[in-house]
Structure 1
Amino acid sequence: MNGIRRMIALLALLSAYTISAEAEELYKAFPIKKEANTGNDFQCKLLDLYARIYSDNFPVTEPGYQSVNIPRNYTLGMQLAITGSSTQQFTIVLDSVKNEEGTSFTGGFAFRRLLPVHVEGNTQGSMINVPGGAFPDSWVPYLVRLAPFDVLEAVADTQTTAINVPAEEIAGVLLQIQVPTDCPIGHYQGNIKITGSLGIEKNIPVSFTVHKTVLPEDYFLDSTHWLSELPENLKSGTSVEWWSEAHWNLLERAGKMLREDGANTMFTPLVSTAHPLIQTLWNSQTKTLSFDYSRFDRWVHMFDSLGFKYFAGRHMKLMGSGLTIKDSVTGNTISLGSTQINFECFQQTFLKDLNNHLQTLGMLNRYVQHIYDEPSPAALNEYKHYNNILKRTMPTVKSIDANSSHPELFTDMIGIQVFNLPGIILQKNDAVKDRLSQHKSIWLYNTSSPYPPYPNRHLDQPLIENRLWPWLCMKYNASGYLFWAANEYRGVPDEYQTSLGPLPNGSQNPGHPPGDAWLYYRSPNGLIPSMRIISFREGMVDATLLAKLRSANPSKAQELIAKLVFPEIEQGQDLPFSTYLTRAETIPKGYEDSPATFNAVRKEMLDYLDTIY
């Protein structure tokens, strides 16, 4: 029976690669040929932001781009697939775009090459993922493709002139149309003109409707994707020197990208590691500790100037890990033990000093402190101990921590409690309700879990699921979203050739599911985004529009949320984690995964907002 079920599921997935009669008609409407290209000709197809382009499969059956409704002060994205039998250079321009009144579109246009990444294994479970590994039959409908495969996922730096496409290669391009704040409203139509260097030109119709609503500069939800400051995690090739100007430049580039993608909270290193942001100093003559904040001040000033609102200090529990102390008299590096100061005393001394420094900077109300990541119930007393230290040394600073197990045990101690999906659902009438009634913040997070039938952000799952997570925040009244890894490569030399997320010890066999440890990719110039993080940003846009609508009409907001998040998403959340591999056999999908439906809901939001603002 299992074999039959698996065969049926595989056939369902593989059917995505066959051409239905309806798809055939759509296919004929575009200037594409099914047969191989000959001579100077080439194939091209315009796709929405959530289609997947594979290196070995031209997207014949993927739905073509459909007109969308957008706010002003917004970047409209779409994808273009190109292939030909001859090597060519292609120019791509936005041509003759006007609204119904004949007003020409004056916004910007840019295109960026999509780079392939290799997926060697599908999502298989918690810390058991291996190349080509097996997974439950019931998960197949939740995956976009069976591994191994190469998918065009990383978004290269902007190209302003042309792209080169080798013969028979399937290339992908992210097209971005910048809609300015003062853009005249209306329905715009025009063409994407693609011209090959061998003389063939093709025009693909494009249209979009610009609404009156202006997207604010800041998104409604708070958000963080933890950035690794390690030089080797900020660019490909030879690493730069720690805290050199080149290092700061890479951090600034990464910060700009994170801000663009919705982050407003910067995960901030403190005193630990061999190259700390805040250097601990020991005066061996006076037997006193002091701290050099010069790098910390530069960090805060730089990310503040980029628009970051909050700074989240790394976890107190890990503060002693790799602690490096310099003797200010001799210049030698020494251990904490040689100072005869115990760790708790050191921690209290540092946190008091940091509190005073933040007050001097005028940043105390913009700083939050992590204590202990995902503490288990067995760590409750240890958590209380660290929390007491924080309250004594930084009495006005809020803590922020993720809880995956029995969050109700920790809720009274945490300033900003970050729930996973099961936690926020199971506690919605208890800890979550109590916190909201007391105006205490709650956030939402996910990691390698949840697994089907629930959504995640892995490389083998639909891109639209990235857009869903801000909607889940709005559904459960979370004011922020946290993800643990923007660029946590953990020694992986080339994340374009391997996608299984490394465990803390660096293992990828087994490892985390594909793409779980990073949403950005390294390039020679620094980090570049992924299609997944760009999809997530669309969810941040949705949440911002929904918040504006909700302030005027809460019931309408709930009606729209219900179109994308279904009651079934709460089924099975109370089951033991050990049952996660079998839940999709009986529990239906509890969320919408059709981009067309997401776009229709955005249109409803914009239509409504146009009537009240």
Structure 2
Amino acid sequence: MARRGEAEGRQLFLRAAAPLHQVRVSASELVSDSGQRLDRRWLAWHFVNYVHLERNSRATPADELLWPAPADYPDELSDDLARDLPADQTQPIYLRVTVPPTATAGRYRGTVTVQSAEGSEVLPLELTVSRAPAPGPERFAFVYWYSWDEACKQFGVARNSAAGWRVLEHLAAMMKVYHQNSVVIPWHLISAWQRPDGGLQIDWTDFDRYLEVMRRAGVDRLFCLAHVGSRTTQDWLCPTMAAHRLEMRRLDTLETVHVSTLDLLPAVEQHVVELGLLDRFAVHVADEPIAENLESYRQLSTEVRRRAPRLRRIDAIHVPQLDGSLEIWVPQTNYLEKWLTGFQAAQKAGNELWFYVAWVPQGAHTNRMIDSTAIKPRLLHWLNALYGTTGYLHWALNHWHIPLTSLESPGDQYICWPSRRFVANSSLRYEAERDGMEEAELLAELGRAGTPAEQSHGMVSDFTHYRRSWEELEQARRQLLAELEQRQR
């Protein structure tokens, strides 16, 4: 069952006793019982690629893994149009139907044909479009930090070239499809020079163009200026944080100088006000403050507020003692669970409360590791609706230059893959996250009262206790859609 304006995916599995050559897939249009039609262009398919892992995620126990490494794990949705398949090897094929917002409710039928040089097989395809209306405006913020450079490298173009800007447009379009509605703004988009009097002359051309690309794509709920500062050493327990210094040139002598990011904040704030985007703008102070550097972080955040008093501050955090230092709190889910009451008190005091994951937490926590079930990244987003948080952050959409062996946590580094035909290839995990975001919106739309288990028809009891059955997930989702349908009558 699918809701109008959303996508529904399923896998079929192909296995043959003899080799197959030039295997490809095609689909018919889908026709409803009342004669309504969904054109075949609304259906996409992908071979699912396996990734080989020598070692499993370091913080995930054996009972939380799909299977032990070394082994192959399904993830990437390939951009291959056809491929040869050896005998006695199972090949998953991912099918996705995107339902137009204007589609008529009802049961649709069609066929999927798997063809090869040796023959073909026709399979039935059935889709029920729910009577529930298409979703309204998104309730939750969703941001992936990403690499514009990595996407450009796949096409051999420079980031600041005309082709590089087209790559950004395609990235933004992909973000929107997968419900990302907020984006980080790199400091390199602010072109500044130092005047002889020590003041700054700023060219906002690239900054404004970037905002316009994202706004046209609909990735414009929140613009987050990248971190003002960081730890002063590479040591995680480093007790001090300080503002970064940006390299620029003097206007009169052209000599290179280094200027604190703090010195640019007043101009950033003023420009954002002039653009009319103050209510959709925030600034990162420094990433992941912990108890060992909390005092230094608070001092830096205070200075950020002094330089730009109208800009909201946002950060991923590991500590709750941040009253007056942030307006958008983003605790890691294990810390959100640990100090839930305190974080909810901060939310009631007027702050926004999101959550994030990175290479941790693992174990029974919902995350997006390649060697865990994809039900985890799907249910991850249900937490927003079930706990009253309003956003999700992750640091890595497409950091392809970082190996999957990094921190022995395969999947933390990226959730989409390099592509030969597209700006990126999706993955089973990315598809699961899209479904989970849609279901979080459905849960919020219903506004069911009670415990997380009562709200979710038993799917999610708390942060680490949830059902692992895809059949039970589908049943819960159908029940939620049925409730929404009932309310429309």
Q: TM-score, normalised by structure 1?
A: 0.72
Question: 1:165: how far off?
Answer: 2.1
- Give yes or no for the alignment of 1:542 onto 2:439: yes
Question: 1:237: how far off?
Answer: 5.0
Distance 1:148 1:215, change over 3 A: farther
Unaligned runs of 5+ in 2: 231-241
Instruction: Identify the match of residue 165 of structure 2 among 242, 248, 272.
Output: 248
2:296 counterpart residue number: 382
Q: What do the CA deviations read for 1:226-262 (whole angstroms, capped 9, x no partner)?
A: 1123x2x215557432411222222222221122112
2:339 counterpart residue number: 427
Q: TM-score, normalised by structure 2?
A: 0.89
Question: 1:102: how far off?
Answer: 4.9
Q: How many pairs were matched up?
A: 472
**Contact map agreement 1:87 1:166 (CA 8 A) in 2:** yes
Question: 1:328: how far off?
Answer: 2.6
CA distance in 1, matches of 2:54, 2:202: 46
Instruction: Identify the match of residue 224 of structure 2 among 305, 312, 325.
Output: 312
Alignment identity in percent?
23
Residue 520 of structure 1 aligns to a residue in which SS?
Answer: coil
Instruction: Identify the match of residue 499 of structure 1 among 384, 404, 411.
Output: 404
Question: 1:140: how far off?
Answer: 1.5
Instruction: Identify the match of residue 364 of structure 2 among 448, 453, 458.
Output: 453
Distance 1:417 1:320, change over 3 A: closer
Instruction: Identify the match of residue 142 of structure 1 among 46, 51, 64.
Output: 64
What one-letter code is carried by the residue in structure 2 that aligns with 1:563? Answer: G
Residue 455 of structure 2 aligns to a residue in which SS?
Answer: helix
Distance 1:453 1:410, change over 3 A: same
Question: 1:512: how far off?
Answer: 3.6
CA distance in 2, matches of 1:395, 1:347: 15
The runs of at least 4 consecutive aligned structure 1 residues that moved more than 6 Å come to: none
Question: 1:555: how far off?
Answer: 4.5
Write the mapping of 1:196-275 to structure 2, written as runs, cut at 5 A: 196-198=116-118, 200-216=119-135, 218-229=137-148, 231=149, 233-235=150-152, 239-270=156-187
What one-letter code is carried by the residue in structure 2 that aligns with 1:78? Answer: R
Distance 1:103 1:297, change over 3 A: closer
2:50 counterpart residue number: 116
Residue 324 of structure 1 aligns to a residue in which SS?
Answer: strand
**Contact map agreement 1:560 1:601 (CA 8 A) in 2:** no
CA distance in 1, matches of 2:71, 2:365: 23
**Contact map agreement 1:487 1:520 (CA 8 A) in 2:** yes
What one-letter code is carried by the residue in structure 1 that aligns with 2:9? Answer: G
Instruction: Identify the match of residue 185 of structure 1 among 75, 98, 105.
Output: 105
Distance 1:558 1:146, change over 3 A: closer
2:233 counterpart residue number: none
- Give yes or no for the alignment of 1:71 onto 2:22: no
1:373 counterpart residue number: 287
2:459 counterpart residue number: 564
What one-letter code is carried by the residue in structure 1 that aligns with 2:481? Answer: L
Instruction: Identify the match of residue 430 of structure 2 among 533, 552, 558.
Output: 533
CA distance in 2, matches of 1:140, 1:558: 26
Distance 1:294 1:105, change over 3 A: closer
Distance 1:287 1:317, change over 3 A: closer
CA distance in 2, matches of 1:208, 1:591: 27
1:466 counterpart residue number: 377
CA distance in 1, matches of 2:399, 2:206: 22
Task: Give RMSD over aligned pairs.
Answer: 2.5
Q: What do the CA deviations read for 1:1-60 (whole angstroms, capped 9, x no partner)?
A: xxxxxxxxxxxxxxxxxxxxxxxxxxxxxxxxxxxxxxxxxxxxxxxxxxxxxxxxxxxx
What one-letter code is carried by the residue in structure 2 that aligns with 1:71? Answer: R
Instruction: Identify the match of residue 248 of structure 2 among 321, 325, 348.
Output: 325
CA distance in 1, matches of 2:48, 2:347: 42
Unaligned runs of 5+ in 1: 1-68, 126-134, 271-275, 337-342, 493-497, 503-510, 570-588
**Contact map agreement 2:57 2:409 (CA 8 A) in 1:** yes
**Contact map agreement 1:118 1:499 (CA 8 A) in 2:** no
CA distance in 2, matches of 1:600, 1:177: 19
What one-letter code is carried by the residue in structure 2 that aligns with 1:527? Answer: A
What one-letter code is carried by the residue in structure 1 that aligns with 2:252? Answer: V
Distance 1:190 1:557, change over 3 A: farther
1:520 counterpart residue number: 416
What one-letter code is carried by the residue in structure 2 that aligns with 1:247? Answer: G
Which sits farther off after the overlay, 184-193 or 536-545? 184-193
Question: 1:599: how far off?
Answer: 1.1
What one-letter code is carried by the residue in structure 2 that aligns with 1:210? Answer: V
Q: What do the CA deviations read for 1:381-432 (whole angstroms, capped 9, x no partner)?
A: 222222222222222221111112x32x114421010122222222222x22
CA distance in 2, matches of 1:149, 1:163: 25
Question: 1:181: how far off?
Answer: 1.8
CA distance in 2, matches of 1:90, 1:155: 15
CA distance in 2, matches of 1:539, 1:294: 37
